[in-house]
Amino acid sequence: MKTVLQFLYCLCLLFITQGLSAQAIYSRYRIVFTDKNGTPYSLDNPGQYLSPRAILRRQRYGIKLDSTDLPIVPRYIDSVLASGQVTLLNHSNWLNQIIIRTTDTAALARIRAFPFVRSGDSIALRMGSSQVGAPGNKFRRESTLQRVIPEGAYRISSLNYGASYNQIHLHNGDFLHNKGLLGQGMVIAMLDGGFSDINTNPAFDSLLLQHRLLGTWNYVYDTSYVFGYHWHGANCLSIIAANLPGQMIGAAPDASFWLMITEDVRSEQPVEEDNWAAGAEKADSAGADIISSSLGYSLFDNPAYNLSYADLNGTTADVSRAASLAVKKGMIVVNAAGNEGETSWKYIITPADGIDVLAVGAVDIHKQIAPFSSYGPTADGRISPVVASVGWNTVLVDTAGVVSEGSGTSYATPNMAGLVACLWQGFPAMSNYQIMAAVEKSADHYTDPGDQIGYGIPDFEAAYDTLLREQQDSLSLQAAAILDSGYLKAFPNPFLTGFTIVCRLPQPGPGVFSLYDTQGRLVYRSSIQTDPGLSYYTVTWGNLDRLPGGVYFLKMDNGPFTRTIKLVKSG
């Protein structure tokens, strides 16, 4: 019976695909512009087009603004929209292009003739609400969910993980959680095909009640509503954000989120790459720290758009170019490697080939490589997947609120993204490249990477220790400068989730540090004792993410000696 049903299913897909080919009515086009000449925007005034948090990220990590940050020239867009029956769907400042919908051939001819238009290629067929394309890579080969019965509460750590303990502990992620690093103040943007029922799922009660869902957008239907369409994104979100003590705790249960639908679950067309690029750019402008994307592309409904292995070089596919730019803007992009390991394709899929993208392969809790996990390297010889996480029988919460398990690199990705968020929370002064380097170096195959596992399974306790040593080395250099020029410094400044104080205490007795707001109200205070053997001291204050944004004053009292400096809290 199963064989007959499979045959009928394939036959239906064949008829549908042939019908679409016969129609061949394209409605969505990628319009690429030649330049940004005459733009009314300026690199000297990024507040016109970037959020304060995004600007802070660039300042903190020394990232220079460039022409890719500038918005598209408005008159270019206006000219396109005035050409006929044309609707603007989305845009990418980074790639200097817009996506339009039209079937007006005269308008297309006029648009392509503009001197400031480099190209205007079709990227998607017109799809009616009842039409469905061929399956493409749409969450392909991900297993059906199986209900999980937690075998017991794990109280050996600070959290009662329930069934998710093993996938956290495999990476020593519970080490971070025991230090209070649960993702507080970190913003994760998730790009997916739908987030069904998360607004009613008890696994996400704390996320919603604490207002940590910062925003949503649906690039497929041009609406802010994302709580339907597909279960895939909801499952992925649960792996990071679920908070059901004794049943399941996610990898970063206190993180904040942007949820964006970029994937059209009805079809597989290149426009979804452009949706992804728009979502990544939105994540940057909103100040997200991490992008978690369990999406990828190689085959499309129209084979003319299919990618070859040679295209997996990080610079050919639009989605890979966007992912690479997202990393250059200071974010960490965590993306699924793909589930093609047992197919004739075999290789990773875009944007896992993006330059410096943290592509994730799948293992089980016993460190066995999942046979479906895609192979690298990239076409230009870079290691990808870069690391591996639990994506084979991963514990998650389904859309009914039931603790279940499923398999796919889609599920390895959010587990890794959540733990990376917790690690970065502990070292806010470190750049995305420093965080990724520490994660890679901690992995169990770092000295002998493989095509299916990359550098292997990261150990976040080891990564934490690496970053701690680097931070101490940096503090030593900064302290030497302080000994020459002053007594008190705090960094990063502006700060987001916390800061580190470096100081001298010239007098015997305790050093008392007090943080005041502009009204003179005490916000936080701590103290340390002097040690004759120390020439300088460091004090780290964390978990200040809920402090309102604005100006604060840090005062140090050490006997008769006092010193005060100004700090700025962003956000």
Residue 51's pLDDT band (boundaries 50, 70, 90)? confident
Cα dihedral 48/49/51/54 (nearest 10):
-120
* Per-residue pLDDT at 476 exceeds 90: no
Whole-number pLDDT of residue 197: 96
The rounded mean pLDDT for the chain is 88
Calculate the CA 162 to chain-centre distance.
26
Residue 350's pLDDT band (boundaries 50, 70, 90)? very high
Instruction: Return the CATH fold of 486-569.
Output: Immunoglobulin-like (2.60.40)
Residue 152's pLDDT band (boundaries 50, 70, 90)? very low
* Per-residue pLDDT at 131 exceeds 60: no
- Angstrom distance (rounded) from CA 63 to CA 56: 10
Whole-number pLDDT of residue 175: 95
Report pTM. Answer: 0.81
Q: pLDDT of 316-340, one tens digit each?
A: 999 999 999 999 999 999 999 999 9
Terminal C-alpha separation, the chain: 58
No. of H helices and E strands in the chain?
13, 23
Whole-number pLDDT of residue 212: 96
Query: Averaged over 72-86, what is the pLDDT?
Result: 97
- Angstrom distance (rounded) from CA 117 to CA 136: 31
* Per-residue pLDDT at 398 exceeds 80: yes
Contacts of 30 (CB under 8 A, 6+ apart): 97, 98, 99, 119, 120, 121, 123, 270, 271, 274, 318
Residue 474's pLDDT band (boundaries 50, 70, 90)? confident
* Per-residue pLDDT at 9 exceeds 70: no
Strands 146-147 and 87-92: unpaired
Q: pLDDT of 205-257, one tens digit each?
A: 999 999 999 999 999 999 999 999 999 999 999 999 999 999 999 999 999 99
Backbone angles phi, psi at 109, to 5 degrees: -65, -45
Residue 132's pLDDT band (boundaries 50, 70, 90)? very low
Q: How far is CA 562 from CA 279, 502, 555, 558, in A?
A: 48, 15, 7, 6
SS3 82: coil
Q: Which of 3-12, 63-72, 514-523 has the highest mean pLDDT?
A: 63-72
Domain covering 24-125 in this structure, CATH number: 3.30.70
Whole-number pLDDT of residue 3: 39
Whole-number pLDDT of residue 15: 36
Query: Averaged over 473-482, what is the pLDDT?
Result: 66
Q: pLDDT of 259-270, one tens digit each?
A: 999 999 988 999
Residue 282's pLDDT band (boundaries 50, 70, 90)? very high
* Per-residue pLDDT at 113 exceeds 60: yes
Please determine whether the domains at 24-125 and 146-467 fall in the same fold group of CATH: no
- Angstrom distance (rounded) from CA 137 to CA 139: 6
Domain covering 146-467 in this structure, CATH number: 3.40.50.200
DSSP string, 521-562: -EEEEEEE---TT-S-EEEEE---TTSPSEEEEEEEEETTEE
Query: Averaged over 161-174, what is the pLDDT?
Result: 96
Q: Where are the domains of the chain?
A: 24-125, 146-467, 486-569
Please list the residues that pair with 101 across neighbouring strands. 28, 87
Whole-number pLDDT of residue 157: 60
Residue 507's pLDDT band (boundaries 50, 70, 90)? confident
Q: pLDDT of 517-571, one tens digit each?
A: 988 889 999 988 887 777 678 888 887 888 888 899 999 998 888 889 999 887 6
Residue with tokens 């230090």: 179
Given a contact cutoff of 8 angstroms between Cβ atoms, the answer to whether 394 and 372 are in contact is no
Strands 522-528 and 537-541: unpaired
Q: Which of 191-195, 499-503, 556-560 has the highest mean pLDDT?
A: 191-195
Please tell me the number of Cα atoms within 13 Å of 547 on its side-chain side.
25
Whole-number pLDDT of residue 471: 82
Query: Averaged over 423-436, what is the pLDDT?
Result: 93
Between 176 and 128, the higher pLDDT residue: 176
DSSP element (H, E) containing 240: helix 232-241
